[in-house]
Structure 1
Amino acid sequence: MRGGSFPNRGPSGGQGSCRQRMGSTCAPEASGMASFRMPEESEGHAATWMVFRASKGIWGADLAPYVEKDLGQIARAIAKYEPVRILVSPKDRPRLSRLVDGVGNIEVFEAEVDDLWVRDTGPVFTVNEAGELRAVKFNFNGWGNKQAHSLDKRVAETIADLAGVELVTSSLVLEGGGLEVDGEGTAIITESCVLNRNRNPGVTRDSAESELKALLGLHKIIWLPGIAGKDITDGHTDFYARFAKPGVVVAGIDSDPASFDKAVMESHLALLQEATDAKGRALEVVTLPVPSKVRRKSEDFAAGYVNFYVANGAVLVPQFGDPAADAHALRTLQMLFPGRVVEQLNIDNVAEGGGGIHCVTQQQPKAIPAP
């Protein structure tokens, strides 16, 4: 997510029972997709999906085992609060077993995968008022064909099939880390990702909005500029701004004048402070400063607290070894998520690859009919 060069996010490279493609023969109104919405992350989960894969070819022989330990730590932490479902290549399963054996609430499925970034490779789940689930595939292309993706481009199909839900395939190319929603019709999305010609050449903001609104039940999209070419994701939303609940946004800020993110985050903050959501509410914006001190110094290291993950009854957030910033992030998230346990984890090894806890998780919402 951060870094002056592209981090080792993996050479990535299906569809379930629906296999419909937006923009072709299946219009959203005709298929009933307009009644589906993407829930906000703090709504109830049926499970969290993860992918266990850190190959030496991607991460390096020295780092890969420690990345796997971070994944095991994250899985064990989430399993205290909700079921965890993990995809793993058969050859990697023995190492995963050593990390999670004896831990309840974890289910393992074998599937060939390239890397661990399930937020980007997996489907986005939506739900309708009847409590039916659908999974949306956004055609992962290796963050704009920066890396191979022959296996990871099929992760969405695999998860949809295992979850037993219909899969709808978008005509857009993007990743789940580029989407942030409040569950009530508002989304925050970075232009640098979705409108980037390395993903969607020739696609206008209006046409992207039309499809995203139909697929995800949106009424308003707040577009942030993001920044292209500085990290492999081209500026995913989930590093910059997240909903804590409808009407409340957590935004990262960076005071380091040498950081390219300083100006980006300042522009995002100004836009969010002036924005209203789909219901006409002015957004309350709470800031989370990035740490000024970290244990690692590589340019690819993703140092930021906005990439937290909200599970049932808990919030998981990194800690980076900056006592003041770590403590501030903990207090802020405890204030924003009352009634949930906030756990801080040292995930420096995953952060070396440019991502965080949110990037290696994907929530499957509960299928609950609306009252």
Structure 2
Amino acid sequence: MVTRRSLIRRASALAAASVLPGAAVAQTARAAGFRYAEETAPHERTFMQWPVSRAVYGGGSYLDRVQETIADIANTVAEFEPVVMLMASEHEATARKLLGKGIEIWDVPTEDLWARDSGPSFVVDGKGGLAMTQFNFNGWGGKQPHRNDSQVARRVAEIMGLTLYDAGLVGEAGGAEFDGHATLIAHESSWVNKNRNKGGKDEITRMLLDTYGAKKLIWAPGIKGADITDFHIDALARFTEPGVALIQMGDEIDPADPWSRAAFETYDILAAATDASGRKLELVRLPEPIDIRGSGNDFVASYVNYYVCNGAVIASHFGDDAADEEAQAILSDRYPGREIVMLDTDPVGEAGGGIHCATHEQPKV
């Protein structure tokens, strides 16, 4: 089993030689020769966060249901690869009642579950080096308490003895989608937004490219203020491989629905774009579920917010049998050789996210 001690031994020479573990360095990931890896590449493990905040989830049973759902996701992913759950040690006894024995618990305090946004973001150099890149999480523009969540990435970097590169960007990894080679797609609403970054679009573009180790960014407008994330791209469109992206949208635009208008706008922009290699993007549509179990204005019914782990794709179903089956078939076609596992994650959907939002991969090097 890979342990924290062995991880520290395998940390990059730069981290060991000149930088205190967990301390952010002004050099960027791209300048140091690092980049995000494809999510489909082999993983060392998955990181998740244990939700505990009553300020976020209230005093009723909702938090219990969210914790049960996070445990279900973690136990499912753990069938395919190791899982680390981050939480303050005081919550371990409660969490252990729900988590499988093989899931590691690290003493890293959290408020909420969104490991994609506040958790560790790893980068590789293609030579066996592993480091982290910093997003300076600020609670989606100060919309939610984040005293602990804002420190998760730094604390994990310290435990693992990894360099933490920092381009000065403020935001969340769920707000950009990377093909693992050189191309990013993102909504401006999540980044070119004064609640996160004060600079102009050109400066923010540069910081995103530096953070991911990318060469080209395809922007679409998105929607500001309609949800806590300001419309993260990973709820709408995802790369399955370089040059190919899935996008979830209805058959026809609904002019009265801002989400529908934004989805079609993003589709048109991506359809007209080329990636960093100069190739046109192939777009594959996922259906929009209609007759679903979930309710509420913030409910996210996103098939595209799935997680790719070793040997499997973990996705959500929503109770629309026809759409659920179609989505599963499309995912199976796009990820041959991987088991497609569909879960009921409605409590997480009610909280405004999905399985991809709740997970973050550590690539194997």
TM-score in terms of structure 2 length: 0.90
Which of 11, 19, 23 is the aligned partner of 2:23?
Answer: 19
- Aligned in 2, Cα 1:16/1:302: closer, same or farther, shift over 3 Å? farther
Q: Is 1:71 aligned with 2:70?
A: yes
Note the C-alpha offset of 1:70.
0.4
Note the C-alpha offset of 1:316.
0.7
Asked whether the equivalents of residues 123 and 138 of structure 1 are also in contact (C-alpha less than 8 Å), the reply is no
Q: Secondary structure at the match of 1:33?
A: coil
String of CA shifts for 1:184-215, please: whole Å, max 9, x gaps. 100111110111111001x1222122222233
- Aligned in 2, Cα 1:308/1:19: closer, same or farther, shift over 3 Å? same
* Alignment partners' CA distance in 2, 1:277 and 1:79: 34
The match for 1:251 is: 247
Runs of 4+ in 1 over 6 A off after TM superposition: none
Aligned pair count? 344
Note the C-alpha offset of 1:256.
7.4
Q: Extract unaligned runs of 5+ from structure 2.
A: 1-18
String of CA shifts for 1:224-276, please: whole Å, max 9, x gaps. 11111000000111011100011110111135735321000000111111111
Q: Secondary structure at the match of 2:47?
A: strand
Note the C-alpha offset of 1:124.
1.6
* Alignment partners' CA distance in 2, 1:263 and 1:34: 39
- Aligned in 2, Cα 1:18/1:67: closer, same or farther, shift over 3 Å? closer
User: Identity, % of aligned pairs?
Assistant: 40
- Letter of the 2:165 partner, please give it: V
The match for 2:179 is: 182
The match for 1:94 is: 93
With CA pairs under 8 Å and 6+ residues apart, which has the higher RCO, 1 or 2?
1
- Letter of the 1:68 partner, please give it: Q
Asked whether the equivalents of residues 239 and 306 of structure 1 are also in contact (C-alpha less than 8 Å), the reply is yes
* Alignment partners' CA distance in 1, 2:236 and 2:294: 20
Asked whether the equivalents of residues 53 and 92 of structure 1 are also in contact (C-alpha less than 8 Å), the reply is no
The match for 2:12 is: none
Cα root mean square deviation, aligned = 1.7
- Letter of the 2:228 partner, please give it: I
String of CA shifts for 1:122-169, please: whole Å, max 9, x gaps. 132110021201101111111011122111110011222233321112
Q: Secondary structure at the match of 2:297?
A: coil
- Aligned in 2, Cα 1:101/1:250: closer, same or farther, shift over 3 Å? closer
The match for 1:294 is: 292
- Letter of the 2:128 partner, please give it: G
* Alignment partners' CA distance in 2, 1:205 and 1:336: 33
Q: Secondary structure at the match of 1:50?
A: strand
* Alignment partners' CA distance in 1, 2:144 and 2:65: 22
Asked whether the equivalents of residues 185 and 219 of structure 1 are also in contact (C-alpha less than 8 Å), the reply is yes
TM-score in terms of structure 1 length: 0.89
* Alignment partners' CA distance in 1, 2:106 and 2:309: 21
Note the C-alpha offset of 1:101.
3.9
Q: Is 1:152 aligned with 2:152?
A: no
